[in-house]
Amino acid sequence: MTRVLVTGFLPFGRQGINPSGGLALEVHGAVLDDVHVVSALLPVSYVRAPQALRAVAARVGASAILAMGLAADRPRVSVERRAHGAPGPRLDEDGLADAGYGVDVSALPWAEAVAAALDADLSDDAGRFVCNRVASHLATLDLPTAFVHVPAQGLEIAALHRAIRVLAGQGASAAR
């Protein structure tokens, strides 16, 4: 059975609830055809979020990863095509600033297929906060990945299921 890891973030700042985390938890344990969904919540930390993502993916044997974050100022769901290498201005929950990593990353090749499954916009701006750091980390992994920004109102679970299936299908073809 194919395992897809779906992540969202824990609440941060004045957000009592992070819709990305709620969505991730809502699909945890779902079985979609031969795809088993495993979910995890990531800390809003430049250092700990990528570490947690990698650790959970290894522990569950993920063959694909769909990571989500909140973009409260966006009216629609968007799928990121790139992440920025420049440092971000905001402090994370650990009180740390992002040091940046020098280069922009444009290697999120499953963005278009996932955007089509979600009926979402494509974005070339993963922001300058922890979402950007996670999106850049996804690009270093040798498996199908996507980073989805959800607006405050979230997204429909049926659309999320379609996106999970798309990534799982990409995982199966990449393994051949």
Report the first-to-last Cα separation within the chain, whole angstroms.
15
Distance of CA 69 to the CA centre of its chain: 6
Q: What is the SS3 assignment for 66?
A: strand
CA pair distance 173, 12, nearest whole angstrom: 37
Which residues does the annotation mark as catalytic? 80, 131, 149
Helix axis angle, 157-175 to 111-118, nearest 10°: 150
Amino acid of residue 4: V
Could you tell me where the DSSP H helices lie in the chain?
A: 19-27, 48-60, 111-118, 130-138, 157-175
Cα dihedral 33, 141, 81, 130 sign = positive
Helix axis angle, 130-138 to 48-60, nearest 10°: 40
CA pair distance 10, 176, nearest whole angstrom: 35
